[in-house]
Amino acid sequence: MDLLDFSDCKLYFEDALPPEAERLIAQAAEDYGDPTAELSLLRANLLAPEHLTVLVSLYRYYFYQHRLDDVLIVADHAKRISARHLGIPNDWRQIDEAQLGSAAATSFGLLRFYLLALKAESVVLLRLGRIAESRDRLTKLAALDSRDHLGAAKLLEVVDEFQSEETTSETASLNLVAA
């Protein structure tokens, strides 16, 4: 399946958003940098707790505020909502190619959102220094995306190269100390 071809699918931001939630998101953008911005986003989330546009807004807000633990909570919530609508397991480790094909038939745009949320989660885990958890997600994504359209395999290569260089550097440091 070509994960780059999403010309014939509905995307998450095309779903109608309650007008008040939309207004609150716009208000949060206007108030960015002020603590009231988060409050507006949280109020929008109360009005439309399963709307992916609201969750993406919260995700971005927390990401740019460097609140990475909060980012992971929002990403996980978005993945769970997507998984439920796609009929796939909540646990990404349990997804196989057959389920991926069935999910694509249900909503290719939502499946792509789900997979990109999983990748985004792995990037945040990298930033938090939780390399093994990130690597597990990237490995799963790379296995599901054989053409690497989502870039997980390439990112995994970078992680592995970085870890290899880090190990080499540590070994060199240990050798210098031992000498």
3: Cα within 13 Å, side-chain hemisphere: 21
pLDDT of residue 171: 55
Each residue's pLDDT tens digit, 60-118: 999 999 999 999 999 999 999 999 999 999 999 999 999 999 999 999 999 999 999 99
Domain ranges of the chain: 12-130
pLDDT of residue 63: 96
User: Model-level pTM?
Assistant: 0.83
pLDDT band at 4 (very low <50, low <70, confident <90, very high): very low
| Residue corresponding to tokens 């460097």 | 66
What CATH class is the domain 12-130?
mainly alpha
